[in-house]
Chain A
């Protein structure tokens, strides 16, 4: 880790002003940032500690039915919040399926959005990587790509976004509150992360110095509470990133599907949502055929980067069908002992 200047921000305005200088990084829990700094993957010259910022760690159910989660709320506090667990069960299940208890106790909501890819050619700090060193190339392409993208990638970068939490948030139309020199703004989570295109070094819509201050879930998100599941397939049952995951949510009315939501993790550099697949389910009775058709549509545009991740397309179809089937069966009264695991799922 290279030496850096450390400062402790006392207000959001203070933090934003300090971060205007290039080479600055915000420090919340540091579970990802400190790890990357130790490995020399990222080398900020200035670290601005935002852990003391007042008013950013609350979880607030608002009168209009929406939910606001402060950016400094800890993953475990969000997952354990009774209102979150009851109203947005797949959000709680996804959080509990991520990382370890120690990391969830530290890691923050804002940090979860801002975490970097676990592409091994990015994190090794030496391979050519257009994210780390624009123009150096992509070492992943054509090599070990088990955790790499089958949607939305470019020849410059085939990495995936590693978050579980962001997948149900995308499905539920969450928004991200941002504050910067120019004031406050809000963007939809599905538009917050950028696909790699020609500039994989640009990962989010944040402008230099901008800070994520909160997440909001709209009131409509609550209607899926009874039929929502997160399913995560990984190389070991706990404490591993998703190879493929899916958040599936339905409203059921008289034996027919009203609205459907379906988003994937592990497929792209952002949570991947296909509105056409969701739309195909509206008005249908929940059935293996309807779910298979939705999964087919969802993966229609998928394209593996090579032989090594071709399996992910069929895996994602099956994960989608299984997640939709489980959602139709109903949200369990208690989050299972192994959250989001295919073991014990319908």
Chain B
């Protein structure tokens, strides 16, 4: 039995027939739709490498059953740039060397986009560190990641509560 779902993925509508209700959003993206930007680190919601935005909010794609997301709008790292023009968070990660091996980077960037949208952290280093704690970097590039998020946050829409 297949279960049909509809997703808006990086701005484009998709009709998908799921042949197994166990498929997570992460496996759907990577194994069925060829979008390998979101990474499978722990596959248990602990590392954040699979972070994507669903209906504008950052979540762990590894813990969401795709079947439960019928009608959702999903944004992955592949849909972030406008053609060749990088998203400000992507540009900031390059400018501030916010990575080493790069495995966690798509998740870090999507999480930072989510954090800035939430408007909770502004450019306060402590609030950014806390807000990014769901994304592990085993290379330890945290210093660069912090600078990148601070910079991108300042360039994007400043919020009233930005400290």
- A residues whose Cβ falls under 8 Å from a Cβ of B: 1, 3-6, 8, 27, 29-31, 34-35, 38-39, 47, 49, 51, 76, 80, 99-103, 105-106, 237-239, 334, 337-339
- Taking the complex as formed, is B73 at the interface, i.e. its CB lies under 8 A from any CB of chain A? no
- Taking the complex as formed, is B124 at the interface, i.e. its CB lies under 8 A from any CB of chain A? yes
**Best-buried of A1, A76, A80, A101 by chain B (most CB within 10 Å):** A101
Residues of B within 8 A of A5 (CB): 21
Show 26 A/B contacts (Cβ-Cβ < 8 Å), sorted by A.
A3-B21, A4-B22, A6-B3, A8-B70, A29-B64, A34-B64, A35-B45, A35-B63, A51-B68, A100-B134, A101-B58, A101-B111, A101-B115, A101-B134, A102-B60, A103-B45, A103-B63, A105-B58, A106-B57, A106-B60, A238-B130, A239-B133, A334-B161, A337-B126, A337-B130, A338-B126
> How distant is A251 from chain B, measured CB to nearest CB, in Å?
29
A38 touches B44 (CB 8 A): yes
> How distant is B101 from chain A, measured CB to nearest CB, in Å?
21
What CA separation (Å) do A27 and B127 show in the bound complex? 32
**Size band of the interface chain B makes with A:** 35 or more
A339 touches B130 (CB 8 A): yes
> How distant is A322 from chain B, measured CB to nearest CB, in Å?
20
Residues of A within 8 A of B59 (CB): 102-103, 105-106
- Taking the complex as formed, is B131 at the interface, i.e. its CB lies under 8 A from any CB of chain A? yes
What CA separation (Å) do A16 and B24 show in the bound complex? 25
Q: Which chain A residue shows the least CB distance to B119?
A: A80
Residues of A within 8 A of B134 (CB): 99-103, 239
Residues of A within 8 A of B7 (CB): none
A101 touches B3 (CB 8 A): no
Hey, what's the 0/1 contact readout for B104-139 against A, CB within 8 Å counting as 1? 000000010011001010001011011111110000
- Taking the complex as formed, is B88 at the interface, i.e. its CB lies under 8 A from any CB of chain A? no
> How distant is A107 from chain B, measured CB to nearest CB, in Å?
9
B130 touches A49 (CB 8 A): no
What CA separation (Å) do A72 and B115 show in the bound complex? 22
A76 touches B57 (CB 8 A): yes
- Taking the complex as formed, is B153 at the interface, i.e. its CB lies under 8 A from any CB of chain A? no
Within 8 A of A (CB), among B16-37: 20-22, 24
